[in-house]
Structure 1
Amino acid sequence: MPRITAATVADHRASQHAALLEAALEILAGEGAAALTPAAVGARVGLARSSVYRYFSSTADILAQLVEDAIPRWAGVLAAAADGSGDLRERLRGYGAATLTFVHSRDYVLLPTFAAIDLPAECQARLGQLHETMIEPMRAIAAQAGHDHPDLVAHLGWSILGEGQRQIAAGADAEVVTAVTIDTLCRAVLT
Protein backbone atom coordinates (compact mmCIF):
# COMPACT_ATOMS: atom_id res chain seq x y z
CA MET A 1 0.00 0.00 0.00
CA PRO A 2 1.47 3.39 -0.95
CA ARG A 3 2.29 5.74 1.87
CA ILE A 4 -0.06 8.72 2.20
CA THR A 5 1.93 11.95 2.50
CA ALA A 6 -0.92 14.40 3.11
CA ALA A 7 -3.72 14.96 5.62
CA THR A 8 -6.29 13.14 3.48
CA VAL A 9 -6.25 10.69 0.61
CA ALA A 10 -7.74 13.38 -1.65
CA ASP A 11 -4.97 15.79 -0.68
CA HIS A 12 -2.37 13.09 -1.31
CA ARG A 13 -3.80 12.36 -4.76
CA ALA A 14 -3.90 16.07 -5.61
CA SER A 15 -0.29 16.45 -4.53
CA GLN A 16 0.80 13.40 -6.53
CA HIS A 17 -1.10 14.64 -9.56
CA ALA A 18 0.59 18.06 -9.35
CA ALA A 19 4.00 16.39 -9.00
CA LEU A 20 3.32 14.21 -12.05
CA LEU A 21 2.27 17.22 -14.13
CA GLU A 22 5.40 19.05 -13.02
CA ALA A 23 7.54 16.07 -13.99
CA ALA A 24 5.84 15.84 -17.38
CA LEU A 25 6.53 19.52 -18.06
CA GLU A 26 10.17 19.06 -17.05
CA ILE A 27 10.52 16.11 -19.43
CA LEU A 28 8.96 18.08 -22.29
CA ALA A 29 11.22 21.06 -21.68
CA GLY A 30 14.39 19.06 -21.23
CA GLU A 31 14.00 16.05 -23.48
CA GLY A 32 11.15 16.75 -25.90
CA ALA A 33 7.83 15.11 -26.68
CA ALA A 34 9.36 11.78 -27.71
CA ALA A 35 10.66 11.26 -24.17
CA LEU A 36 7.29 11.87 -22.54
CA THR A 37 5.81 8.54 -21.44
CA PRO A 38 3.89 7.45 -18.35
CA ALA A 39 6.94 5.40 -17.31
CA ALA A 40 9.29 8.39 -17.63
CA VAL A 41 6.92 10.64 -15.69
CA GLY A 42 6.57 8.04 -12.94
CA ALA A 43 10.32 7.51 -12.74
CA ARG A 44 10.84 11.26 -12.36
CA VAL A 45 8.71 11.31 -9.17
CA GLY A 46 9.49 7.81 -7.93
CA LEU A 47 6.22 6.11 -8.87
CA ALA A 48 5.84 2.84 -10.70
CA ARG A 49 4.35 3.08 -14.18
CA SER A 50 1.27 1.20 -12.99
CA SER A 51 0.69 3.89 -10.35
CA VAL A 52 0.97 6.63 -12.96
CA TYR A 53 -1.95 5.03 -14.82
CA ARG A 54 -4.17 5.97 -11.87
CA TYR A 55 -3.68 9.58 -12.97
CA PHE A 56 -3.19 9.35 -16.75
CA SER A 57 -4.49 6.83 -19.25
CA SER A 58 -1.78 7.52 -21.85
CA THR A 59 0.84 9.96 -23.03
CA ALA A 60 -1.89 11.83 -24.90
CA ASP A 61 -3.81 12.12 -21.63
CA ILE A 62 -0.72 13.57 -19.95
CA LEU A 63 -0.51 16.22 -22.67
CA ALA A 64 -4.23 16.94 -22.43
CA GLN A 65 -4.01 17.40 -18.68
CA LEU A 66 -1.00 19.70 -19.06
CA VAL A 67 -3.07 21.87 -21.37
CA GLU A 68 -6.09 21.76 -19.05
CA ASP A 69 -3.78 22.94 -16.28
CA ALA A 70 -1.84 25.63 -18.18
CA ILE A 71 -4.38 27.38 -20.38
CA PRO A 72 -6.91 28.30 -17.68
CA ARG A 73 -4.04 29.65 -15.59
CA TRP A 74 -2.80 31.78 -18.51
CA ALA A 75 -6.33 32.82 -19.46
CA GLY A 76 -6.67 34.16 -15.90
CA VAL A 77 -3.40 36.07 -16.23
CA LEU A 78 -4.55 37.61 -19.51
CA ALA A 79 -8.00 38.48 -18.19
CA ALA A 80 -6.44 40.19 -15.17
CA ALA A 81 -4.02 42.11 -17.39
CA ALA A 82 -6.86 43.35 -19.61
CA ASP A 83 -9.12 44.15 -16.69
CA GLY A 84 -9.17 47.33 -14.76
CA SER A 85 -10.18 50.90 -14.83
CA GLY A 86 -7.66 52.04 -17.43
CA ASP A 87 -8.61 53.15 -20.89
CA LEU A 88 -8.81 50.60 -23.69
CA ARG A 89 -5.26 51.32 -24.86
CA GLU A 90 -3.80 50.68 -21.38
CA ARG A 91 -5.84 47.50 -21.01
CA LEU A 92 -4.80 46.22 -24.44
CA ARG A 93 -1.15 47.07 -23.77
CA GLY A 94 -1.34 45.12 -20.49
CA TYR A 95 -2.92 42.17 -22.25
CA GLY A 96 -0.32 42.25 -25.01
CA ALA A 97 2.59 42.47 -22.59
CA ALA A 98 1.23 39.57 -20.52
CA THR A 99 0.75 37.47 -23.67
CA LEU A 100 4.34 38.07 -24.74
CA THR A 101 5.67 37.02 -21.33
CA PHE A 102 4.25 33.55 -22.01
CA VAL A 103 7.45 32.88 -24.01
CA HIS A 104 9.42 32.98 -20.76
CA SER A 105 7.00 30.63 -19.02
CA ARG A 106 7.73 26.97 -18.57
CA ASP A 107 4.32 26.34 -20.12
CA TYR A 108 5.57 27.70 -23.47
CA VAL A 109 7.09 24.29 -24.21
CA LEU A 110 3.55 23.07 -24.88
CA LEU A 111 3.28 25.11 -28.09
CA PRO A 112 6.07 23.43 -30.08
CA THR A 113 4.96 20.08 -28.68
CA PHE A 114 1.46 20.45 -30.10
CA ALA A 115 2.82 21.76 -33.38
CA ALA A 116 4.95 18.60 -33.70
CA ILE A 117 2.31 15.97 -32.98
CA ASP A 118 -0.87 14.92 -34.74
CA LEU A 119 -3.70 15.41 -32.25
CA PRO A 120 -7.02 13.56 -32.55
CA ALA A 121 -9.94 15.74 -33.66
CA GLU A 122 -11.53 15.82 -30.19
CA CYS A 123 -8.25 17.04 -28.68
CA GLN A 124 -7.92 19.71 -31.33
CA ALA A 125 -11.49 20.84 -30.62
CA ARG A 126 -10.84 21.10 -26.88
CA LEU A 127 -7.59 22.95 -27.48
CA GLY A 128 -9.53 25.37 -29.67
CA GLN A 129 -12.11 25.94 -26.93
CA LEU A 130 -9.41 26.64 -24.36
CA HIS A 131 -7.57 28.88 -26.80
CA GLU A 132 -10.71 31.01 -27.19
CA THR A 133 -10.67 31.74 -23.45
CA MET A 134 -7.26 33.34 -23.89
CA ILE A 135 -8.51 35.54 -26.75
CA GLU A 136 -11.70 36.60 -24.98
CA PRO A 137 -10.25 39.69 -23.21
CA MET A 138 -9.01 41.10 -26.53
CA ARG A 139 -12.38 40.31 -28.13
CA ALA A 140 -14.08 42.35 -25.39
CA ILE A 141 -11.68 45.26 -25.91
CA ALA A 142 -12.28 45.17 -29.69
CA ALA A 143 -16.05 45.21 -29.06
CA GLN A 144 -15.71 48.15 -26.67
CA ALA A 145 -13.61 49.94 -29.29
CA GLY A 146 -16.62 49.71 -31.62
CA HIS A 147 -15.45 47.14 -34.18
CA ASP A 148 -18.21 45.54 -36.21
CA HIS A 149 -16.32 42.22 -36.15
CA PRO A 150 -14.63 42.03 -32.74
CA ASP A 151 -14.03 38.28 -32.98
CA LEU A 152 -12.13 38.62 -36.26
CA VAL A 153 -10.18 41.61 -34.98
CA ALA A 154 -9.24 39.71 -31.82
CA HIS A 155 -8.02 36.71 -33.82
CA LEU A 156 -5.98 38.96 -36.09
CA GLY A 157 -4.56 40.66 -33.00
CA TRP A 158 -3.71 37.24 -31.56
CA SER A 159 -1.73 36.53 -34.73
CA ILE A 160 0.29 39.69 -34.17
CA LEU A 161 1.06 38.57 -30.61
CA GLY A 162 1.92 35.08 -31.83
CA GLU A 163 4.52 36.46 -34.21
CA GLY A 164 5.95 38.57 -31.39
CA GLN A 165 6.21 35.43 -29.27
CA ARG A 166 7.95 33.54 -32.08
CA GLN A 167 10.46 36.38 -32.55
CA ILE A 168 11.26 36.48 -28.83
CA ALA A 169 11.52 32.68 -28.64
CA ALA A 170 13.94 32.74 -31.59
CA GLY A 171 16.25 35.09 -29.68
CA ALA A 172 15.30 38.52 -30.99
CA ASP A 173 15.68 41.47 -28.64
CA ALA A 174 12.66 41.01 -26.36
CA GLU A 175 12.43 44.68 -25.44
CA VAL A 176 12.32 45.81 -29.07
CA VAL A 177 9.96 43.03 -30.15
CA THR A 178 7.62 43.74 -27.24
CA ALA A 179 7.48 47.48 -27.97
CA VAL A 180 6.89 47.04 -31.72
CA THR A 181 4.41 44.19 -31.26
CA ILE A 182 2.30 46.06 -28.72
CA ASP A 183 2.31 49.25 -30.80
CA THR A 184 1.23 47.25 -33.86
CA LEU A 185 -1.45 45.47 -31.80
CA CYS A 186 -2.89 48.76 -30.56
CA ARG A 187 -3.04 50.19 -34.09
CA ALA A 188 -4.77 47.05 -35.33
CA VAL A 189 -7.31 46.66 -32.54
CA LEU A 190 -8.06 50.23 -31.52
CA THR A 191 -8.19 52.13 -34.82
Structure 2
Amino acid sequence: MPKIRAATVAEHRAMQRRAILDAAREILAEGGGAETPSLAAVAQRTGLARPSVYSYFKSRDDLLDALIIDTFPKWSAYVTEQMDKATHPGERALAYVDANLHLVARGEHAIVSALAATGRGELLEETSKTLHDQLRTPLVETLAERGTRDPEAMAELIQAIVYAVTRMVEDGTPEADARRLARELLEPYFRS
Protein backbone atom coordinates (compact mmCIF):
# COMPACT_ATOMS: atom_id res chain seq x y z
CA MET A 1 0.00 0.00 0.00
CA PRO A 2 1.42 3.44 -0.91
CA LYS A 3 2.46 5.71 1.89
CA ILE A 4 0.12 8.65 2.52
CA ARG A 5 2.09 11.92 2.61
CA ALA A 6 -0.60 14.16 4.07
CA ALA A 7 -2.89 14.39 7.08
CA THR A 8 -5.79 12.84 5.16
CA VAL A 9 -6.26 10.64 2.11
CA ALA A 10 -8.10 13.51 0.38
CA GLU A 11 -5.16 15.87 0.98
CA HIS A 12 -2.74 13.20 -0.24
CA ARG A 13 -4.76 12.71 -3.44
CA ALA A 14 -4.89 16.48 -3.98
CA MET A 15 -1.09 16.68 -3.57
CA GLN A 16 -0.54 13.80 -5.99
CA ARG A 17 -2.91 15.33 -8.55
CA ARG A 18 -1.10 18.67 -8.23
CA ALA A 19 2.28 16.92 -8.72
CA ILE A 20 0.98 15.21 -11.86
CA LEU A 21 -0.34 18.49 -13.30
CA ASP A 22 2.91 20.27 -12.45
CA ALA A 23 4.96 17.51 -14.11
CA ALA A 24 2.81 17.73 -17.24
CA ARG A 25 3.27 21.53 -17.31
CA GLU A 26 7.05 21.13 -17.02
CA ILE A 27 7.13 18.60 -19.85
CA LEU A 28 5.04 20.88 -22.07
CA ALA A 29 7.24 23.87 -21.23
CA GLU A 30 10.33 21.89 -22.24
CA GLY A 31 8.85 21.18 -25.67
CA GLY A 32 8.86 17.85 -27.32
CA GLY A 33 5.95 17.97 -29.71
CA ALA A 34 2.23 17.48 -29.62
CA GLU A 35 2.57 13.87 -28.38
CA THR A 36 3.82 15.02 -24.99
CA PRO A 37 3.21 14.74 -22.19
CA SER A 38 2.62 11.01 -22.17
CA LEU A 39 1.27 9.50 -18.98
CA ALA A 40 4.42 7.38 -18.78
CA ALA A 41 6.62 10.50 -18.91
CA VAL A 42 4.47 12.20 -16.27
CA ALA A 43 4.66 9.12 -14.06
CA GLN A 44 8.44 9.03 -14.39
CA ARG A 45 8.71 12.77 -13.61
CA THR A 46 6.56 12.47 -10.47
CA GLY A 47 8.09 9.21 -9.29
CA LEU A 48 4.70 7.50 -9.44
CA ALA A 49 3.94 4.18 -11.05
CA ARG A 50 2.15 4.59 -14.39
CA PRO A 51 -1.01 2.82 -13.07
CA SER A 52 -1.10 5.37 -10.23
CA VAL A 53 -1.29 8.22 -12.75
CA TYR A 54 -4.23 6.44 -14.39
CA SER A 55 -6.06 6.53 -11.06
CA TYR A 56 -6.06 10.33 -11.37
CA PHE A 57 -6.46 10.72 -15.14
CA LYS A 58 -8.10 8.13 -17.41
CA SER A 59 -6.09 9.14 -20.45
CA ARG A 60 -3.60 11.66 -21.81
CA ASP A 61 -6.53 13.68 -23.15
CA ASP A 62 -8.11 13.70 -19.70
CA LEU A 63 -4.81 15.00 -18.28
CA LEU A 64 -4.53 17.68 -20.97
CA ASP A 65 -8.11 18.81 -20.35
CA ALA A 66 -7.36 19.12 -16.63
CA LEU A 67 -4.21 21.05 -17.44
CA ILE A 68 -6.15 23.50 -19.62
CA ILE A 69 -8.73 24.01 -16.88
CA ASP A 70 -5.95 24.45 -14.31
CA THR A 71 -3.76 26.86 -16.30
CA PHE A 72 -6.08 29.58 -17.53
CA PRO A 73 -7.70 30.71 -14.26
CA LYS A 74 -4.26 31.16 -12.72
CA TRP A 75 -3.28 33.51 -15.55
CA SER A 76 -6.41 35.58 -15.09
CA ALA A 77 -6.06 35.66 -11.30
CA TYR A 78 -2.44 36.83 -11.50
CA VAL A 79 -3.20 39.65 -13.93
CA THR A 80 -6.20 40.81 -11.90
CA GLU A 81 -4.16 40.69 -8.69
CA GLN A 82 -1.44 42.87 -10.25
CA MET A 83 -4.00 45.34 -11.58
CA ASP A 84 -5.67 45.58 -8.16
CA LYS A 85 -2.38 46.74 -6.60
CA ALA A 86 -2.42 49.93 -8.66
CA THR A 87 -4.57 52.89 -7.61
CA HIS A 88 -4.75 55.04 -10.74
CA PRO A 89 -6.50 53.76 -13.91
CA GLY A 90 -3.42 54.36 -16.06
CA GLU A 91 -1.26 52.44 -13.59
CA ARG A 92 -3.82 49.58 -13.60
CA ALA A 93 -3.72 49.38 -17.40
CA LEU A 94 0.07 49.34 -17.37
CA ALA A 95 -0.03 46.66 -14.65
CA TYR A 96 -2.20 44.62 -17.04
CA VAL A 97 0.50 44.84 -19.70
CA ASP A 98 3.34 44.15 -17.25
CA ALA A 99 1.58 41.15 -15.69
CA ASN A 100 0.83 39.54 -19.04
CA LEU A 101 4.42 40.04 -20.21
CA HIS A 102 5.74 38.63 -16.94
CA LEU A 103 3.69 35.47 -17.44
CA VAL A 104 4.95 35.18 -21.00
CA ALA A 105 8.56 35.58 -19.83
CA ARG A 106 7.95 32.95 -17.15
CA GLY A 107 6.93 30.47 -19.86
CA GLU A 108 3.17 30.42 -19.32
CA HIS A 109 2.40 31.39 -22.92
CA ALA A 110 4.67 28.60 -24.16
CA ILE A 111 2.62 26.15 -22.12
CA VAL A 112 -0.63 27.50 -23.56
CA SER A 113 0.85 27.29 -27.07
CA ALA A 114 1.97 23.71 -26.43
CA LEU A 115 -1.52 22.86 -25.19
CA ALA A 116 -2.93 24.35 -28.41
CA ALA A 117 -0.64 22.05 -30.40
CA THR A 118 -2.01 18.97 -28.64
CA GLY A 119 -5.26 19.13 -30.55
CA ARG A 120 -7.52 19.79 -27.58
CA GLY A 121 -9.32 22.33 -29.75
CA GLU A 122 -12.87 22.60 -28.42
CA LEU A 123 -12.05 22.82 -24.70
CA LEU A 124 -9.00 24.98 -25.38
CA GLU A 125 -11.01 27.37 -27.54
CA GLU A 126 -13.77 27.63 -24.94
CA THR A 127 -11.35 28.09 -22.05
CA SER A 128 -9.23 30.55 -24.02
CA LYS A 129 -12.29 32.66 -24.82
CA THR A 130 -13.25 32.65 -21.13
CA LEU A 131 -9.70 33.70 -20.15
CA HIS A 132 -9.64 36.54 -22.67
CA ASP A 133 -13.07 37.72 -21.49
CA GLN A 134 -11.91 37.59 -17.86
CA LEU A 135 -8.80 39.60 -18.75
CA ARG A 136 -10.59 42.02 -21.05
CA THR A 137 -13.32 43.01 -18.58
CA PRO A 138 -11.10 44.66 -15.94
CA LEU A 139 -9.04 46.34 -18.66
CA VAL A 140 -12.15 47.78 -20.34
CA GLU A 141 -13.50 48.92 -16.93
CA THR A 142 -10.15 50.56 -16.13
CA LEU A 143 -10.11 52.38 -19.46
CA ALA A 144 -13.72 53.52 -18.95
CA GLU A 145 -12.81 54.81 -15.49
CA ARG A 146 -9.91 56.70 -17.06
CA GLY A 147 -12.37 58.40 -19.40
CA THR A 148 -11.31 56.68 -22.61
CA ARG A 149 -13.82 57.54 -25.34
CA ASP A 150 -14.03 53.94 -26.66
CA PRO A 151 -12.70 51.59 -23.97
CA GLU A 152 -13.52 48.45 -25.97
CA ALA A 153 -11.47 49.57 -28.97
CA MET A 154 -8.63 50.86 -26.79
CA ALA A 155 -8.53 47.50 -24.96
CA GLU A 156 -8.12 45.82 -28.36
CA LEU A 157 -5.22 48.13 -29.21
CA ILE A 158 -3.52 47.50 -25.86
CA GLN A 159 -3.99 43.77 -26.33
CA ALA A 160 -2.42 44.04 -29.80
CA ILE A 161 0.62 45.65 -28.18
CA VAL A 162 0.73 42.82 -25.61
CA TYR A 163 0.64 40.25 -28.46
CA ALA A 164 3.40 42.03 -30.38
CA VAL A 165 5.64 42.31 -27.33
CA THR A 166 4.83 38.69 -26.42
CA ARG A 167 6.38 37.60 -29.70
CA MET A 168 9.45 39.69 -28.89
CA VAL A 169 9.82 38.02 -25.48
CA GLU A 170 9.39 34.58 -27.03
CA ASP A 171 12.07 35.51 -29.59
CA GLY A 172 14.53 36.32 -26.80
CA THR A 173 13.95 39.94 -25.79
CA PRO A 174 14.51 40.15 -22.01
CA GLU A 175 11.33 40.79 -20.01
CA ALA A 176 12.59 44.12 -18.62
CA ASP A 177 13.38 45.42 -22.12
CA ALA A 178 10.01 44.28 -23.45
CA ARG A 179 8.13 45.92 -20.60
CA ARG A 180 10.13 49.12 -21.08
CA LEU A 181 9.21 49.23 -24.77
CA ALA A 182 5.52 48.67 -24.05
CA ARG A 183 5.54 51.36 -21.36
CA GLU A 184 7.42 53.77 -23.61
CA LEU A 185 4.60 53.42 -26.11
CA LEU A 186 1.68 53.51 -23.65
CA GLU A 187 2.71 55.86 -20.82
CA PRO A 188 2.28 59.07 -22.86
CA TYR A 189 -1.32 58.05 -23.58
CA PHE A 190 -2.05 57.45 -19.90
CA ARG A 191 -0.42 60.73 -18.88
CA SER A 192 -2.51 62.76 -21.35
Q: TM-score, normalised by structure 1?
A: 0.84
Match of 1:87 in 2: 88
Match of 2:141 in 1: 140
The reply on whether 1:65 has 2:66 as its aligned counterpart is yes
Residues 190 and 128 of structure 1: CA distance in aligned 2, closer, same or farther (over 3 Å): farther
**Unmatched 5+ stretches in structure 2:** none
Alpha-carbon distance, 1:164 to partner: 0.7
Please report the RMSD computed on the Cα atoms of aligned residues, expressed in angstroms. Answer: 2.5
Alpha-carbon distance, 1:190 to partner: 8.3
Q: Which amino acid aligns with 1:165?
A: T
Q: Which amino acid aligns with 1:12?
A: H
Deviations 1:42-84 (A, max 9, x none): 1211223222122223323322322322322222221122124
Is this contact kept in 1: 2:89–2:142, CA < 8 A?
yes
Deviations 1:95-124 (A, max 9, x none): 211111112224333132134343332431
Match of 1:160 in 2: 161
Alpha-carbon distance, 1:24 to partner: 0.7
Q: Distance in 2 between matches of 1:44 and 1:161?
A: 33
**Unmatched 5+ stretches in structure 1:** none
Is this contact kept in 2: 1:25–1:107, CA < 8 A?
no
Is this contact kept in 1: 2:39–2:59, CA < 8 A?
yes
Task: Kindly tell me the number of residue pairs found equivalent between the two proteins.
Answer: 191
Match of 1:25 in 2: 25
The reply on whether 1:9 has 2:9 as its aligned counterpart is yes
Is this contact kept in 2: 1:103–1:169, CA < 8 A?
yes
Q: Percent identity?
A: 33
Q: Distance in 2 between matches of 1:94 and 1:156?
A: 16
Residues 112 and 123 of structure 1: CA distance in aligned 2, closer, same or farther (over 3 Å): closer
Is this contact kept in 1: 2:100–2:162, CA < 8 A?
yes
Q: Distance in 2 between matches of 1:122 and 1:48?
A: 28
Residues 90 and 118 of structure 1: CA distance in aligned 2, closer, same or farther (over 3 Å): same
Is this contact kept in 1: 2:101–2:166, CA < 8 A?
yes
Residues 86 and 119 of structure 1: CA distance in aligned 2, closer, same or farther (over 3 Å): same
Is this contact kept in 1: 2:76–2:135, CA < 8 A?
yes
Q: TM-score, normalised by structure 2?
A: 0.84
Residues 30 and 148 of structure 1: CA distance in aligned 2, closer, same or farther (over 3 Å): same
SS of residue paired to 1:2:
coil
Q: Distance in 2 between matches of 1:17 and 1:96?
A: 32
Alpha-carbon distance, 1:36 to partner: 0.6
Residues 143 and 60 of structure 1: CA distance in aligned 2, closer, same or farther (over 3 Å): farther
Tell which has more relative contact order, 1 or 2 (C-alpha 8 A, sep 6+): 2
Q: Which amino acid aligns with 2:61?
A: A
Match of 1:112 in 2: 113
Deviations 1:124-162 (A, max 9, x none): 112211232233321221222334543343233222112
